């Protein structure tokens, strides 16, 4: 199976802070891969380098064989990125926002229409899509943005804490959609999360990140067995040395 | 004491003081702008005075009597005078004597001057002598009619020596090579003052206001957290910038049109407000812009707004939020204000070459220069200015395209890191 993402010895230095200290992992095509780790571990920084927003200090990242530094505009054609903290244009309606974003990746008017109809279904916002996004609640906005990230059926969806701010039901709904998308459209997903339950349920493989390094990597079931733990939280605590 | 007041006050103060952009803005404007303005104005008054004193006065002696000789001798004591004889004012203009003698005004001593003086001196107080002063209307600058007032001062000095009010002055103005009898240049100047001040003030307000709005365009994307998403979709980054710029062109266009309508209305109401006994008709005198003049002025204004907006949009890309962006754009304001305020008081043509070149090089003073030039029918200056601002704008946009069009947008920003703070994507 070919590799969707190859991350090799990735280092990112912000002044004196070494945010990433040689991160290495691979993601196979069609896989849901989870990055987990405590606050400040370097998850967001890793995702931002992969989605061409910031440049690595050293190391290399390839997305479907494309280099994120030298072939950034090619990479942007095959990915979609959902930032951890993102917003929509406050004075556009949900529909207008989706249409605005769809036009960048889709050529014909019919394709744009199909794309935003799909997004409308994913978001589950119904009639509220006609309202300006500044009237949305935090969770509604997040659903709109998740829908935006998936609607174009990218080859790789990079989702930074996709379910953050969502209630239990909507988080469940979003997880179902991600799973379905991978199955139906062959989308590869790279996500970060704090929610171990979510990660266990969704991810084929996970990487535990701590202080800018991958400390352990593997399938959730195998990791639990290996560390003789009931859940990933326990695995994590054992690896990092709290337990 | 109001509960919590102190806590909030201290926090606000800390935040303001720690933002170097805001602090600098608060200090740079008053501490730099005002001294410079003071220097400019002092210089303006000085040069105007000097020029008036240096100016040669052309005296046309059509009288030839003894009193005319006395009068000329008196004038000559305070001003350099050149005397010609037996010419009508029209002939003076036709022979281009003013330009040849580097002068902007002449005094005609009409035939009968000496006779009237003698009459008056012999006790017939009702008889007065007259001199006719003809001044070239230069159109601009609060101090531009100092020359005319110097002649007035000398004449009244003469009267004090000889007899109260013996010599009367009639004022005429030469506008675009034609003598307008009975039109006092001082009256004209004070009418034109309105325009001299109104245009710079409006340009200042429009530029600062629209630049503030343009500056928020990129910064707003950062504040609303939409920029990161936008930068990862397959769109040319230069297209993002140009798209933002194009929308500001519309704003600039509407604003220029509105200003031209307002300006036309203002000039219209000046002419109707002039008391009829002054018999000053700006339209008849050719002191209102022609339709072509309005058009050129409008284009000049539009180009200037556009160049200001382009710069504001580009600068806002380097700020992390709206407050930072507006503070950053604030650094351009002194460059707008200094020439605008200086040109209220100065005629650009009387400035030394270096300052003239500097003012001309600042794109934001172009509409002000243009507004004076179109009134005087000097379209070459206006067209040249428009071309200059257009080139300036293209250069600014080209610089931006180097920064935004290629994949180097991020590397370029990393180069700026030391100076401009964090990179766009990294600032959040
Ligand atoms: N723009 C920046 N400037 C300076 N340091 C930064 C910047 N962005 C991130 N860092 C630092 O890099 C490290 C990793 O941050 P990152 O946002 O990747 O963590 P994270 O794993 O996503 O954490 P969280 O779970 O809180 O989202 C942190 O120490 C952070 O302070
Ligand atoms: Mg994060």
How far B25 CA lies from chain A's nearest CA (Å)?
Answer: 28
| Mean pLDDT of the B134-145 span | 63
Of A48, A86, A90, the CB nearest to B425: A48
The CATH H-level (homologous superfamily) assignment of domain B55-183 is abc type-2 transporter like domain (3.40.1710.10)
**Does residue B34 surpass a pLDDT of 70?**
yes
From residue B255, alpha-carbon distances to B207, B248, B335 in Å are 10, 10, 21
pLDDT confidence tier of residue B272, bands split at 50, 70 and 90: low
The whole-number pLDDT of residue B427 equals 35
pLDDT confidence tier of residue A27, bands split at 50, 70 and 90: very high
3-state DSSP of chain A = CCEEEEEEEEEEEECCEEEEEEEEEEEECCCEEEEECCCCCCHHHHHHHHCCCCCCCEEEEEECCEECCCCHHHHHHHEEEECCCCCCCCCCEHHHHHHHHHHHHCCCHHHHHHHHHHHHHHHCCHHHHHCEHHHCCHHHHHHHHHHHHHHCCCCEEEEECCCCCCCHHHHHHHHHHHHHHHHHHCCEEEEEECCHHHHHHHCCEEEEEECCEEEEEECHHHHHHHCCCCCHHHHHHHHHCCC
The pTM of this model reads 0.72
State in Å: Cα B409 to ligand 2 middle. 23
Instruction: Calculate what percentage of chain B has a pLDDT beyond 70.
Output: 78
Q: What is the mean pLDDT of chain B?
A: 77
State in Å: Cα A216 to ligand 1 middle. 20
Residues 6+ apart with CB under 8 A from A24: A7, A8, A9, A10, A214
pLDDT confidence tier of residue A208, bands split at 50, 70 and 90: very high
Of A55, A73, A145, the CB nearest to B234: A73
**pLDDT tens-place string over residues B327-336:** 888 888 888 8
The whole-number pLDDT of residue A205 equals 95
How far A61 CA lies from chain B's nearest CA (Å)?
Answer: 16
Q: Which has the minimum average pLDDT: A59-73, A222-236, B252-266?
A: B252-266
Residues on chain A bordering chain B, Cβ-to-Cβ distance under 8 angstroms: 14, 48, 51-55, 70, 72-73, 76-77, 79-83, 85-90, 101, 104-105, 145, 148
pLDDT confidence tier of residue A64, bands split at 50, 70 and 90: very high
| Mean pLDDT of the B368-392 span | 89
Neighbours of A16 (CB within 10 A): 5
The whole-number pLDDT of residue B416 equals 39
Nearest CA to ligand 1 atom 29: A40
Where along chain B do the CATH 3.40.1710.10 domains lie? 55-183
**Does residue A130 surpass a pLDDT of 50?**
yes
Counted across chains A and B, CB pairs separated by less than 8 A come out at 60
Instruction: Calculate what percentage of chain B has a pLDDT beyond 90.
Output: 6
pLDDT confidence tier of residue A6, bands split at 50, 70 and 90: very high
The whole-number pLDDT of residue B407 equals 41
pLDDT confidence tier of residue A2, bands split at 50, 70 and 90: confident
């Amino acid at each position: 199976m070919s590799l969707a993402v190859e991350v090799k010895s990735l280092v990112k230095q912000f002044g004196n802070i070494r945010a990433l200290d040689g991160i290495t992992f691979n993601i196979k095509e069609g896989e849901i891969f989870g990055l987990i780790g405590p606050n400040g571990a370097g998850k967001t920084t890793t995702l931002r380098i992969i989605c061409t927003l910031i440049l690595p200090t050293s190391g290399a990242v390839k997305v479907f064989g494309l280099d994120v530094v030298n072939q950034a505009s090619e990479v942007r054609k095959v990915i979609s990125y959902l930032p951890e903290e993102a917003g929509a244009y406050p004075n556009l309606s949900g529909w207008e926002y989706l249409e605005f974003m769809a036009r960048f990746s889709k050529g014909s008017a019919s394709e744009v229409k199909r794309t935003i109809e799909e997004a409308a279904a994913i978001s589950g916002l119904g009639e509220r899509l006609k309202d300006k996004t500044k009237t949305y609640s935090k969770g509604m906005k997040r659903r709109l943005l998740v829908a935006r990230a998936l609607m174009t059926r990218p080859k790789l969806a990079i989702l930074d804490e996709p379910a953050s701010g969502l209630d239990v039901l909507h988080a469940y709904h979003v997880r179902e959609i991600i799973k379905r998308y991978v199955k139906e459209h062959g989308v590869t997903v790279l996500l970060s999360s704090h929610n171990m339950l979510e990660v266990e349920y969704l991810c084929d493989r996970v990487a535990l990140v701590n202080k800018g390094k991958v400390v352990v990597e593997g399938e959730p079931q195998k990791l639990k067995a290996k560390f003789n733990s009931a859940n990933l939280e326990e695995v994590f605590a054992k690896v990092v040395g709290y337990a | 004491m109001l509960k919590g007041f102190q806590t909030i006050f201290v926090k606000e103060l800390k935040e303001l003081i720690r933002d170097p952009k805001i602090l600098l803005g608060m200090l740079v404007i008053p501490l730099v702008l005002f001294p410079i303005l003071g220097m400019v104005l002092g210089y303006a008054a000085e040069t105007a005075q000097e020029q008036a004193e240096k100016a040669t006065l052309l005296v046309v002696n059509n009288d030839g009597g003894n009193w005319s000789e006395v009068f000329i001798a008196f004038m000559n004591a305070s001003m350099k005078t050149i005397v010609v004889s037996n010419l009508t004012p029209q002939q003076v203009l036709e022979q281009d004597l003013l330009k040849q003698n580097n002068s902007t005004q002449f005094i005609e001593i009409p035939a009968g001057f000496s006779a009237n003086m003698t009459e008056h001196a012999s006790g017939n107080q009702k008889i007065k002598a007259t001199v006719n002063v003809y001044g070239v209307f230069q159109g601009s600058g609060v101090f531009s009619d100092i020359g005319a007032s110097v002649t007035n001062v000398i004449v009244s000095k003469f009267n004090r020596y000889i007899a109260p009010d013996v010599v009367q002055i009639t004022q005429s103005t030469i506008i675009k090579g034609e003598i307008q009898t009975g039109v006092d240049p001082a009256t004209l100047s004070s009418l034109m003052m309105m325009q001299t001040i109104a245009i710079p003030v409006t340009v200042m307000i429009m530029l600062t206001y629209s630049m503030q709005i343009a500056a928020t365009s990129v910064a707003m994307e950062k504040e609303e957290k939409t920029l990161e998403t936008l930068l990862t979709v397959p769109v040319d980054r230069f297209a993002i910038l140009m798209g933002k710029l194009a929308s500001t062109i519309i704003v600039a266009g509407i604003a220029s049109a509105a200003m031209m309508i307002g300006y036309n209305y203002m000039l219209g109401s000046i002419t109707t407000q002039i008391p009829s006994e002054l018999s000053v008709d700006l339209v008849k005198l050719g002191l209102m812009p022609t339709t072509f003049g309005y058009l050129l002025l409008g284009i000049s204004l539009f180009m200037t707004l556009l160049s200001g907006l382009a710069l504001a949009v580009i600068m806002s890309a380097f700020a992390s939020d709206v407050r930072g962006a507006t503070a950053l754009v604030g650094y351009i304001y002194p460059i707008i204000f200094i020439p605008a305020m200086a040109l209220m008081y100065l005629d650009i043509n009387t400035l030394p070459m270096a300052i003239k070149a500097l003012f001309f090089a600042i794109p934001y003073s172009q509409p002000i220069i243009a507004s004076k030039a179109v009134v005087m029918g000097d379209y070459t200056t206006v067209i040249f200015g428009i071309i200059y601002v257009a080139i300036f704008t293209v250069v600014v946009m080209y610089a931006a395209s180097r920064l935004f069009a290629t994949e180097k947008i991020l590397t370029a920003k990393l180069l700026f890191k030391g100076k401009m703070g964090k990179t766009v994507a990294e600032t959040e």
